[in-house]
Amino acid sequence: MLQWTMVEVMIAVMPFHGHVAPLAAVAEAFLAAGHGVRVYTGAAHAARFEELGASVIRWQQAPDFDEHDLPATFPALRGRKGPRQMLTNVEQLFVRTGADQAADLTRAYAERPWDVIVADGLSIGAHLASELTCTPWVTVSIVPLTIPSRDLPPPILGLQPAKGFAGRLRDRVLRGVTRVAARGIQRAYAEERTRAGLPPDELALEEAFISRELVCASGVAELEYPRSDLATQVVFVGELTRQPANSAALPSWWPDVESCTDPILHVTQGTLNVDPHDLIEPSFAALGRQRVLLVASTGRADVAELPFPAPPNARVAGFVPYDSLLPRLDAMVTNGGWGGVLAALAHGIPLIVAGGDVDKPEIAARVAWAGAGVNLRTGRPRPRAILDAWRRITADGSYRANAQRLARSLSAHDGPREVVEHTMALLARR
């Protein structure tokens, strides 16, 4: 491995559990390589990075928030799901906090300059801070690429690329409609640049979230739709979230898993929008009488119970350590969080994906396109749809074969280490 002079790295992380886990692995990799690491994130996740040995800069001028109660800080999000939540989320949470994020970051830079800022791909504040400090900026994309393309439909709709003239016309029309729908968000970005003391630019919002020098994209090319105009600064780095051995205590019912001879299915609502009525309850209704063992996680460590009864073949916990669980699974029923999807695919596990909002419909569509699972096309599926999907995966071996194919591709990468190496190569070129 090439040896590099130690550098100072600022890692900017949006304060969500699903963002913190992969960026914590990246921070650990920079520390292991001997670099100085500071992390900018919310108070709820500070300890995670401090335990690694990183210094933490907390959201101060930017409004810190509880990811489990976003409307408390962003009232415009109250009662919203689906496409409306997607648009409002992007504007209120990711864009309109940008100038305040940049203020926190530039204050930290004044106290101790960094050599490079390595940022969560949804941290617009990192982009602004990079401009203000004239320092290089690396994007770590922890969700599927949202870079627009002339060959693809808009990346927020969960649509696979169309075929033929009519399909290409559909995608072109949808790209135009999406630009119109996003005018308010584009205006918000322009206003944040002004608040940060930066001049206007000509970037479309999707381009404002990605570095022009280096984008480290989690996942593999086999999960990315073919396009003729993929940005040359994009490199795929595989899975970022590491599953350390014995990462958490096993639940008291774990011996039931170890002794089980029936198929084992994991049902997860993810860590955002964790209403168990959306996916866990219909999964119990669909599979509660099948010869399977259901292992459900609520998505919150402090909530290990559900507001409805579980069937006899189900076991429930807040979280279940994936290093112990994944090697035993036959399938996963998931809301489509990218980290969990990649973790399952890295073990060759076929998926049943109920992607309801934010980036989840896009992830569900890609899993189906890759042949590694079934897209339920809703975040609140009917029990019958879940049962039919399980029967399809059981009867058709191609789902598992494709998941195993992706597992082989993912195993070729060491994501966190590759982020470090690509970043150091960028600094060397500069």
Residue 246 maps to a domain: no
For residues 398 and 278, what is the distance between their CA atoms, to the nearest angstrom? 28
- Which pLDDT value is given to residue 290? 96
What is the mean pLDDT of the segment spanning 140-162? 85
Tens-digit pLDDT profile for residues 327-350: 999 999 999 999 999 999 999 999
Q: Are residues 126 and 84 in the same domain?
A: yes
Domain residues for the domain of 280 are: 254-411
Provide the CB-side half-sphere exposure for 115 (13 A, CA): 15
- The answer to whether residues 421 and 401 belong to one domain is no
Strand, coil or helix: 141:
strand
Same domain, 37 and 24: yes
- The predicted pLDDT at position 1 comes to 42
The span from the CA of 202 to the CA of 193, in Å, is 12
User: Is residue 349 domain-resident?
Assistant: yes
* Lowest model confidence (mean pLDDT) among 50-59, 163-172, 254-263, 414-423: 163-172
Q: State the average pLDDT over residues 123-138.
A: 97
The answer on pLDDT for 2 being more than 50 is: no
- We report the CATH number of the domain holding residue 310 as 3.40.50.2000
For the cut 90, the answer to whether the pLDDT of residue 90 exceeds it is: no
pTM (2 d.p.): 0.89
Q: How far apart are CA 225 and CA 163, in angstroms?
A: 13
How do strand 137-141 and strand 116-120 relate by DSSP bridges?
parallel
Instruction: Please count the structural domains in the chain.
Output: 2
For the chain, give the mean pLDDT: 91
Q: Which residue type sits at 244?
A: P
- Residue 247: pLDDT above 50? yes
Domain assignment of residue 245, yes or no? no
My answer on whether 289 and 351 are in the same domain is: yes
Indicate if the pLDDT at residue 154 is higher than 90.
Answer: no
Same domain membership, residue 159 and residue 18 = yes
Residues 277 and 352 in one domain: yes
